[in-house]
Amino acid sequence: MAGLTSHFNNQSPRLDPNDGGTPPPIRADNAVAVWAECLEMIRGSVTPRAFKTWFEPAKPLRLEDSKLTIQVPSQFFYEWIEEHFYAVVRKTLVHVLGDRAQLIYHTVGDEPAEPARDRVVTLPARTTEHTSDAPQHRQGPVFSPLSSPTFQAARQEQPQPIPAYLNARFTFENFITGESNQLAYAAAKAIADAHPAGTRFNPLVIYGGVGLGKTHLAQAIGQAILRKRPSASVVYTSSERFTYEFVNAIQHNKSQEFTNYYRSVDVLIVDDIQFFADKEKTQDNFFHTFNALYQAGKQIILTSDVPPKHLRGVDDRLVSRFQWGLTTDIQPPDLETRIAILQKMSSDEGYQLPGDVIDYIARNVTTSVRELEGCLISLLAECSLRNLSLTLDLTREVINGIASVPDPVIGIEQIQQTVCKQLDIPHSLLVGKTRKQEIVYARQIAMTLIRELTSSPLKTIGNHFGGRDHTTVMHAISTIETLKGRDENTRRIIAAIRRELNAPER
């Protein structure tokens, strides 16, 4: 796969498919001049360090109509720019090239990029990740189901395989496990190992915050299944992409083809199901697709930023089906896991980082795996571009310039003591075995706040309350979350404890 199309050319379809917005201005500029103009605008919208790290390495390759192709050093560069600078890049490209502007990424090491017109379809496009050693049926250009092999096969004697659209980096081998993700990893491995016999984990729903590895783990299942059964049909999509494709199928009178496509797969992976919210017709279509796949014994894998029961704007019947299988979370990695992740990432990049550098990054970048990766790439880029040695002082300079400033550390015992003070109970009872209602209530509040305000995994929290099991902690959190929704007194108590701890309100 040579080109990756930026997400910003996939805006919500207009009711009139022939109405493409304001035509781009007629230009005689070449790609170099256009990209230089874009860079001048981008320079004023991002920090100097971000500009130097993420935009200066990009090189313009060609300009065709309103499609600008640039070369970036790696797939990760593309993903980082899309996630963190989407709005800036989109605004700039539209300003320079008009409403129909499209940005196409070409990564170093790809074959020479094909003409942009071969990489872009009229309907909403799906990007295909670079998979240099993947089977042929897992590669392909930008995708729309209306031009997919499945649809075309209806007019041919020999059916063609379905592209999977998986990122080659997202494998089990590249996934670092720790207490924060062990259950999710074990469930994902069980599904991959059991396919096609199946497990009781259908659907598998993995939920958690941004950048913690949900997509990585979900796609790793697909990668493993395809290695074991190359003939299997595995499809990865996002809820937003599913919606775009569904709307376009309606507009082009291809609803049945769209339906047949998604119901023909063996494994369906759908990212970020929370974005199905308030899309009633899309939800209805996905409901019937889900039923058809489930009844046929096909595997469904979903990711979300919240548990299914907390989804807002999603039909109850869909939420009910999301809960049929296994729901498991991924939490922010603990210190040991962050260190292991950094060691693996730096090794993959061909670097041996000093121990003090790894320790500093791991202790100061705590929110997500993605931020860890971004900080490491920025640090290595800084060393390369400025020809500097990798020292702790340079690490402090780079990390403090791009990472979120950590909040003051709040410890488990500090939270326990504050809860005891607020509710006037002895600390020994809070961590003891008593089952008195008022003590259980205080204990549940303490467990919930520790989960919210620290990066401690469930097992560690349980250990600080007399060696209780992680399921007890999960039950406590669920109970308090429910109470917060209906009990003003619980909300008041938690707010008072947070003020005492100088912890911000959620």
Across 146-160, 161-175, 200-214, 399-413, the highest mean pLDDT is recorded for 200-214
pLDDT digits (tens, 9 = 90+) for 284-298: 999 999 999 998 899
Q: Which residues contact 254 (CB under 8 A, 6 or more apart)?
A: 146, 151, 248
The DSSP secondary structure of 179-217, one letter per residue, reads TTTHHHHHHHHHHHHHTTS--S--SEEEEESTTSSHHHH
pLDDT category of residue 354 using cuts at 50, 70 and 90: confident
* Cα torsion 50, 54, 57, 62: sign: negative
| Mean pLDDT, range 43-47, rounded to an integer | 83
pLDDT category of residue 299 using cuts at 50, 70 and 90: very high
Q: Which residues contact 201 (CB under 8 A, 6 or more apart)?
A: 187, 190, 191, 325, 326
Any bridge partners for residue 299, and if so which? 267
Number of helices (H), then strands (E), in the chain: 21, 9
| Mean pLDDT, range 427-436, rounded to an integer | 91
Q: How high is the pLDDT of residue 9?
A: 46
Q: 125 or 88: whose pLDDT is higher?
A: 88
Regarding beta strands 299-304 and 267-271, do their DSSP bridges make them parallel or antiparallel, or are they unpaired?
A: parallel
pLDDT digits (tens, 9 = 90+) for 433-489: 888 999 999 999 999 999 888 877 888 898 889 889 888 998 999 999 899 888 899
pLDDT category of residue 125 using cuts at 50, 70 and 90: very low
With the CA atoms of 359, 361, 367 and 372 taken in that order, what torsion angle do they form, in degrees rounded to the nearest 10? -120
* Residue 285 vs residues 78, 236, 242, 312, 351: alpha-carbon distances, Å: 32, 17, 10, 18, 48
Any bridge partners for residue 270, and if so which? 237, 302
Q: How high is the pLDDT of residue 409?
A: 64
| Mean pLDDT, range 209-214, rounded to an integer | 85
Biggest distance spanned by C-alpha atoms of the chain: 79
Q: How high is the pLDDT of residue 267?
A: 92
Report cis status (omega within 30 of 0) of the bond before 457.
Answer: no
Q: How high is the pLDDT of residue 135?
A: 34
Q: How high is the pLDDT of residue 133?
A: 35
Q: Which residues contact 484 (CB under 8 A, 6 or more apart)?
A: 490, 491, 494
Q: 44 or 216: whose pLDDT is higher?
A: 216
DSSP state of 419: H
| Mean pLDDT, range 163-188, rounded to an integer | 84
Instruction: Indicate the range of 256-270, 298-312, 368-382 predicted with least confidence.
Output: 368-382
CA–CA dist 78, 60 (Å, integer): 14
Instruction: Indicate the range of 55-69, 75-89, 306-320, 434-448 predicted with least confidence.
Output: 75-89
Q: How high is the pLDDT of residue 293?
A: 92
Across 47-56, 330-339, 471-480, the highest mean pLDDT is recorded for 471-480
* Residue 63 confidence (pLDDT) above 70: yes
**Alpha-helix residue ranges (DSSP H) falling in 172-309:** 182-194, 214-228, 239-251, 255-262, 280-295
Across 7-11, 171-175, 265-269, 351-355, the highest mean pLDDT is recorded for 265-269
Q: Tokens 């937003």: give the residue.
A: 240
Q: How high is the pLDDT of residue 5?
A: 53
DSSP state of 167: -
pLDDT digits (tens, 9 = 90+) for 239-254: 888 988 898 888 888 8
Q: How high is the pLDDT of residue 112?
A: 40
CA–CA dist 194, 139 (Å, integer): 25
The first and second tokens of residue 18, run together, are: 């022939």
Regarding beta strands 102-107 and 3-5, do their DSSP bridges make them parallel or antiparallel, or are they unpaired?
A: antiparallel
pLDDT digits (tens, 9 = 90+) for 357-401: 888 888 888 777 888 888 888 888 777 777 777 888 888 877 776
Nearest to 412 by CA among 442, 445, 444, 456: 456
Any bridge partners for residue 208, and if so which? 330
* CA-based radius of gyration for the chain: 25
Regarding beta strands 204-208 and 326-330, do their DSSP bridges make them parallel or antiparallel, or are they unpaired?
A: parallel
| Mean pLDDT, range 94-109, rounded to an integer | 80
Q: Say if residue 400 is exposed, middle or buried (CB neighbours under 10 Å; 0-12, 13-18, 19+).
A: exposed
Rounded to 5 degrees, φ, ψ at 231 are -80, -10
Q: How high is the pLDDT of residue 111?
A: 43
Q: How high is the pLDDT of residue 162?
A: 53
